[in-house]
A and B are shown apart, each in its own frame.
Chain A
Amino acid sequence: MKALVIVPAYNEEANIPFVLQDLQGFAGDVLVVDDGSKDTTAAVARRCGAPHVSHPFNLGIGGSVQTGLKHALRNGYDYAIQFDGDGQHRADQIEKIIALVEAGEADMVIGARTLPEGYKCGFARKIGSRIFSLLIKLLTGKWIADPTAGFRCYGPNALRLFSLSYPDDYPEVESIITAARHGLTVVEVPVLMRQRLSGHSSINRRKSAYYMVKVSLALIVDAMREKIAWREF
């Protein structure tokens, strides 16, 4: 089966070479999605010899992942891996998240970082994450321990659904609901993470309040929306 690693990158010129080097160990194609970066992200990707696409302006992480998914779908890839451009994800963990998709047992696999040795995060973030887990449980009946994790594998069904509709900003949680509502199997597997190399998380304290409200609202709106007839496309 053909796999595509999507690397969404916004102003990640410092981290991209490392990320691409890390990914050389993976037997699959790589696509860097430069989300209208103001730095030399695209040029750096080119110099590293990695295929890349560049948005004419910034669309947000959701738009970048979706561009990658569209590319995967149009070029005959069977599944795609979302692998962040900031160096937090580890190429040696990809096997773990693709196993269930390759076996046909899951449509979307999330690499959860909540387990021992996995990841240290702040108290506020833990609470926020727990609230999302509860909301997801309430809306889909499924318990996802780490709903904000961005290390994911999308199977053929997820490729088709998400190329039609994928949330723009803060898409991690919302996409779980979208997937579950459309009958896709979402599974979580534990993975190891790295502490971020350089730059800051896109979510600071000021933004996290907005994040909570926006995502919670989006979850409820999403649950009310009409379903997409993705199988027909």
Chain B
Amino acid sequence: MDVTRLVALLLSGSILTLVIWLIREGRLREKYSLLWLCTSLIIIALAVSRRLLETVAIAVGIYYPPSLLFLLGMLFLLLVNIGFSVTLSRLTQSTHKLAQEVALLKKELEDHKKCD
């Protein structure tokens, strides 16, 4: 095994370890854990087998295999980021509503206390 592959394997291995650790700690919700687990596994598969990337690249008509890697990587990150923006927007909306409810309920509570 050459050094490049060893480094790639070590890197992808640590990503997988990080993801598993985050899930174990409960810091990564199940909803996202599947996405990142799959991603880590794909990265490992690509690191282990150089043939895999070459085969796929040539099959789709790309003659410089690493560029396929960059293309897919960028597309993946782009989609994940759009997904996060959607989640963020939804969360903003929820916090917004919650803040309003808190304000209104606090007033109601204070009014009740005054009556008693």
Taking a contact as CB atoms under 8 Å apart, the answer to whether B102 and A59 are in contact is no
Taking a contact as CB atoms under 8 Å apart, the answer to whether A57 and B104 are in contact is no
Contact with B along A133-176 (1 / 0, CB 8 A): 00000000000000000000000000000000000100000000
User: Per DSSP, are chain B's interface residues mostly helix, strand or loop, or mixed?
Assistant: helix
> How many chain A residues have a CB neighbour from B under 8 Å?
16
User: Does A51 count as interface, using CB distance less than 8 angstroms?
Assistant: yes
User: Does A63 count as interface, using CB distance less than 8 angstroms?
Assistant: yes
User: Per DSSP, are chain A's interface residues mostly helix, strand or loop, or mixed?
Assistant: mixed
Q: Which chain A residue shows the least CB distance to B111?
A: A51
Contact with A along B80-102 (1 / 0, CB 8 A): 00000000000000001001101
User: Does B50 count as interface, using CB distance less than 8 angstroms?
Assistant: no
Q: Which chain B residue shows the least CB distance to A51?
A: B107
Taking a contact as CB atoms under 8 Å apart, the answer to whether A67 and B106 are in contact is no
Set of chain A residues within 8 Å of B96, measured between Cβ atoms: 59, 63, 168
Taking a contact as CB atoms under 8 Å apart, the answer to whether B107 and A59 are in contact is no
Sample 20 A-B pairs with CB under 8 A, ordered by A number.
A33-B103, A51-B107, A52-B107, A53-B103, A53-B104, A53-B107, A54-B103, A54-B106, A55-B102, A55-B103, A56-B99, A56-B102, A56-B103, A59-B96, A59-B100, A63-B99, A63-B100, A66-B100, A67-B103, A67-B104
- A contact set with B: CB distance below 8 Å: 33, 51-57, 59, 63, 66-67, 70-71, 74, 168
